[in-house]
Structure 1
Amino acid sequence: MTSPHSRTEQSLPGGALPAPRRRAVVAAGAAGAALLPLAGAAPAASAADAGPSFVHGVASGDPLPDGVLLWTRVTPEPGAVPGSGRGAAVDVAWEVAADRGFTDRVAHGTVRAEAASDHTVKADVRGLRPATTYFFRFTAGGVHSPTGRTRTAPAEGAEVSNLRFGVVSCANYEGGWFASYRHLAARSDLDAVLHLGDYIYEYGHGEYPTGDDVVRTVQPEHEIVSLADYRTRHGHYKADPDLRAMHAAHPLVAIWDDHEFADNAWSGGAVNHDPETEGGWAQRVAAAKQAYFEWLPVRPSTAGTTFRRLRFGQLAELHLLDLRSFRDAQAKVGHGGDIDDPDRTLTGRKQLDWLKKGLASSQARWKLVGNPVMISQVAFGSVPAKFLGPLGELLGVPKEGLAVNTDQWDGYTDDRRELLTHLRDNRITDTVFLTGDIHMNWANEVPLLAADYPHEAPLATEFVITSVTSDNLDDTLHVAPDTLSGLAEAAVRAANRHVRWVDMDSHGFGVLDVDAHRAQMDYFVLSDKADKNATAALRRSYRTDSGSQRIERTYRPLH
């Protein structure tokens, strides 16, 4: 069946399909050549003059064993640009095939694109085979969309040899080019791409970064506040060819963080929201969420949020968190009582109970947690004074006497204590937090209390992925990478022995591979985020062995 708003006539798979095989890695340098037959070149803007067009590409997401969510946006006529509210309704056909030539079509249907949904459409396709690669496309007015490739999840009880995910976060359009997406798109060995938040940024032109650090201009040029603004910003992001290529190549699994709304968002407001000039916070959040679900292949869950679960056979279960919709306001640095207040929450009671129950009942070997902000305890007080200001700017906290980032789990210690105690008391092993937000690479062990480490064994591990483009330490200091950051990195590791590695200067992406014995993250970094043709190179690899809750460096990368 399809999504509730779809009008669909669907054909289910009738014949046996080839057994799934682990796909070979495509060289990142061949991204353009490899993807051209798949995604196709984006039509020129003037193509809309001739009738319906698909200038924003196609996408898929939230893979299930028997299905996947398909997405596109139709430009039905001239002027019907994102956020305009203009354009007639149009019927859009979709089809799924076992081959890219669409000679072996296995499912098809029709959805309707309307101005009420910004002419975005989704088809929640079911009846597909588990662990199988498919191709899909849309058609309107006789015009075909680019072709997308997607993959279903393994059957719930299936024995799975391994799973491999691309991992990204924090893509500020004005901060640089989306080369990380291009390199992920060029790979054919991924089961999905996990986006850990800050898919878009809300800032106006030149607000972040500023001055000469702006690489390109975002649209609209003002800070986005209204539904039309958020729609326009999402549409502008999907005009980026590297982003479109990534969506066309792999299913996406996404959660949001703050910049999908506004900087340091919480349930009642944000640092970057002024109710006197920008209206009510509830109205802004509603607009941002509506645009998000319109423009991304994500299934909304409880109360229209992004916390949900996806299962990948017996090997892994992915618990995806929403750490913005239910949290209390961030505590002020220096107010330790606020940070430790048991009445303050990051997760909200319902979500925390849902997570605890899901981790305790999971039958999967690996419990992966898509976690927007860092859960590991980190003290910055020992960092040399000259780095406190830049780090404070990055973390959005006071720049003097910096000791803790209260936007992370560090600012809500009771929620963290309850969750980690739950892991300990229920002997839950192989929990791996996958985290974005902080614009740095980290590999951490997660003890109940950092002060007791290493005498008390850690209860989980955490891989933190740096930003696609958003500023980190060398950008803020305006110095070359790996020149001054080593002092700050060494100070952080000296004060936080559970931090096995931290890289404060790089931009890039991660590739996570899990099998029955270990979970490994390969950290890839870009040569220059301001270079449209930036190369990517492996920086380091870290792994955690099943049952250990320990992190160790490995010199055997995945590829």
Structure 2
Amino acid sequence: MSRSRLLGQSVVKRRGVLALGGGVAGGVLLGRPPIDGDAVQARVTSRPVPRSTPGLVRSRDALTHAQTGDVTPTSGVLWARGEAPGQLQVRLRSGGRVIGTRVGPAGTADTDFTARVSLAGLEPGRDYEADLWFAGPDGTESDPTHVSFTTPSATPARTTFAWSGDTCGQGYGISPDAGGLFAYGAVADLRPDVFIHCGDNIYADEPITDTMVEVDGSVWRNVVTEHVQRPAQTLAEFRGRYRYVLLDENVRRLHATTPVISQWDDHETTNNWYPGEILNDETTTFRYTDERRVDVLARMGRQAFQEYMPIGEAHLLGRGSTGFAEKGLYRKVPRGA
């Protein structure tokens, strides 16, 4: 697979395709100014860090977060994560007034404290806002997280979308020196109607270490958590990869205002894997010490992906005995006529 650091920073190639922004209006592609890869690279490396500077380590990656996904003219998904067991609470607003409340499922340790609510009966072409929070069994409530989204029109209308993929690949994680995962911030600034993530939401097979030496001798510093420092080989490590991305303020800002359509690729499990594969040190870049059976890794990877993506319950697949679905995770997300 070609070297890529798109949403994990810097050089913006995904299998040879420049893939950061796009738009559609009445079926016509709206051109965006081309992205200057050299300028992006300069932004990353123009402030070299002394080699003696340590990485930035967080011992915990607990967080609360909310996002929207798979928004159609009449439906959508609200997703949230809490820090402790609790029942998801939703308050939906539009036009400055509350139009409904919902009590969603519980976020528990079995789902890594994630939960979602599928909305139906929405009006096309309308702006919505939502507050999401968790109510604990002892009556305590978490602070609400706010998201907004717009349902697409049911008739032909201008719409814009941004699309990309490959988050935190090749060991390039969240670097405060570079402004975090700044490509997500650039997408948020465009205010697209929808963001399509084309896969490799995480790089489960590639460690994120505290520092990396660039080709010009400067040092890239990463925020590091306990679950990203080796290839993911436990369910906790796969889940921790998704939590790591959600620590970034650029990602959180995009999710607060833009619905997401997420796809699955290979690095949500490991690079270029196939059913029945047994990993070995000769065919992997980084060593797997605890689990080499790809069927087992795929099962854990699929579970974590489904827990952390804003996809409606009706489209989620059973966990089964392996990571290979008896059917594909297919869904239709119509926009326009």
Q: Is TM-score (shorter-chain normalized) higher than 0.5? A: yes
Residue 208 of structure 2 corresponds to residue 205 of structure 1? yes
The residue aligned with 1:307 is 330
| Conserved? CA contact 2:91–2:98, under 8 Å | no
Residues 5-404 of structure 1: matches in 2 within 5 Å? 55-76=63-84, 89-99=85-95, 103-140=97-134, 141-155=140-154, 158=155, 160-172=156-168, 174-175=171-172, 177-188=180-191, 190-202=192-204, 203-206=206-209, 210-212=212-214, 214-219=220-225, 220=227, 221-269=229-277, 272=284, 277-299=290-312, 300=315, 303=325, 305-314=328-337
SS of aligned partner of 2:332: strand
In the TM superposition, what is the alpha-carbon distance from 1:256 to its structure 2 partner? 1.5
Residues 430-445 of structure 1: matches in 2 within 5 Å? none
| Conserved? CA contact 2:274–2:294, under 8 Å | no
Superposed CA offset, 1:203-223 (max 9, x none) = 11349x954464314432121
- Residue 305 to residue 228, structure 1, CA distance change in 2 (3 Å): farther
For 1:104 and 1:301, locate their aligned partners in 2 and report how far apart those are by CA, in whole Å. 29
In the TM superposition, what is the alpha-carbon distance from 1:229 to its structure 2 partner? 0.5
Residue ranges of structure 1 left out of the alignment (5+ in a row): 1-44, 49-53, 77-88, 315-559
For 1:257 and 1:225, locate their aligned partners in 2 and report how far apart those are by CA, in whole Å. 18
In the TM superposition, what is the alpha-carbon distance from 1:180 to its structure 2 partner? 1.4
| Conserved? CA contact 1:301–1:307, under 8 Å | no
| Conserved? CA contact 2:92–2:128, under 8 Å | yes
For 1:172 and 1:277, locate their aligned partners in 2 and report how far apart those are by CA, in whole Å. 23
- Residue 175 to residue 276, structure 1, CA distance change in 2 (3 Å): closer
SS of aligned partner of 2:145: coil
* Identical-pair percentage: 21
Residue identity in the other structure for 1:197: G
| Conserved? CA contact 2:172–2:208, under 8 Å | no
In the TM superposition, what is the alpha-carbon distance from 1:135 to its structure 2 partner? 0.7
For 2:328 and 2:207, locate their aligned partners in 1 and report how far apart those are by CA, in whole Å. 25
In the TM superposition, what is the alpha-carbon distance from 1:266 to its structure 2 partner? 2.8
Residue identity in the other structure for 2:293: G
User: What is the alpha-carbon root mean square deviation over aligned residues?
Assistant: 3.0
The residue aligned with 1:545 is none
SS of aligned partner of 2:221: coil
For 1:280 and 1:268, locate their aligned partners in 2 and report how far apart those are by CA, in whole Å. 7
For 1:301 and 1:290, locate their aligned partners in 2 and report how far apart those are by CA, in whole Å. 10
SS of aligned partner of 2:334: strand
**Structure of larger gyration radius:** 1
In the TM superposition, what is the alpha-carbon distance from 1:68 to its structure 2 partner? 0.5
SS of aligned partner of 1:184: helix
In the TM superposition, what is the alpha-carbon distance from 1:277 to its structure 2 partner? 4.7
| Conserved? CA contact 1:166–1:194, under 8 Å | yes
For 1:149 and 1:204, locate their aligned partners in 2 and report how far apart those are by CA, in whole Å. 34
For 2:189 and 2:237, locate their aligned partners in 1 and report how far apart those are by CA, in whole Å. 31
Residue identity in the other structure for 2:165: S
The residue aligned with 1:555 is none
For 1:166 and 1:104, locate their aligned partners in 2 and report how far apart those are by CA, in whole Å. 30
- Residue 278 to residue 75, structure 1, CA distance change in 2 (3 Å): same
Residue identity in the other structure for 1:283: V
SS of aligned partner of 1:116: helix
In the TM superposition, what is the alpha-carbon distance from 1:108 to its structure 2 partner? 2.7
TM-score for the superposition, normalised by structure 1: 0.40
| Conserved? CA contact 2:276–2:295, under 8 Å | yes
| Conserved? CA contact 2:212–2:221, under 8 Å | no
Relative contact order (alpha carbons < 8 A, sep ≥ 6): 1 or 2 greater? 2
SS of aligned partner of 1:110: strand
For 1:168 and 1:307, locate their aligned partners in 2 and report how far apart those are by CA, in whole Å. 19
In the TM superposition, what is the alpha-carbon distance from 1:112 to its structure 2 partner? 1.0
The residue aligned with 1:473 is none
Residue identity in the other structure for 1:285: A
Residue identity in the other structure for 2:197: H
| Conserved? CA contact 2:81–2:115, under 8 Å | yes
For 2:209 and 2:114, locate their aligned partners in 1 and report how far apart those are by CA, in whole Å. 29
- Residue 107 to residue 154, structure 1, CA distance change in 2 (3 Å): farther
For 1:92 and 1:127, locate their aligned partners in 2 and report how far apart those are by CA, in whole Å. 20
Aligned length: 246
Residue ranges of structure 2 left out of the alignment (5+ in a row): 1-57, 135-139, 174-179, 318-324
- Residue 267 to residue 64, structure 1, CA distance change in 2 (3 Å): farther
For 2:289 and 2:86, locate their aligned partners in 1 and report how far apart those are by CA, in whole Å. 39
- Residue 205 to residue 180, structure 1, CA distance change in 2 (3 Å): closer
Higher normalized helix content (fraction of residues): 1
Residue identity in the other structure for 1:164: T
Superposed CA offset, 1:93-151 (max 9, x none) = 1121114x6x3334533321111000001101111112222111212233332210122
| Conserved? CA contact 1:57–1:248, under 8 Å | no
- Residue 110 to residue 205, structure 1, CA distance change in 2 (3 Å): closer
For 1:265 and 1:109, locate their aligned partners in 2 and report how far apart those are by CA, in whole Å. 39
For 1:307 and 1:110, locate their aligned partners in 2 and report how far apart those are by CA, in whole Å. 24
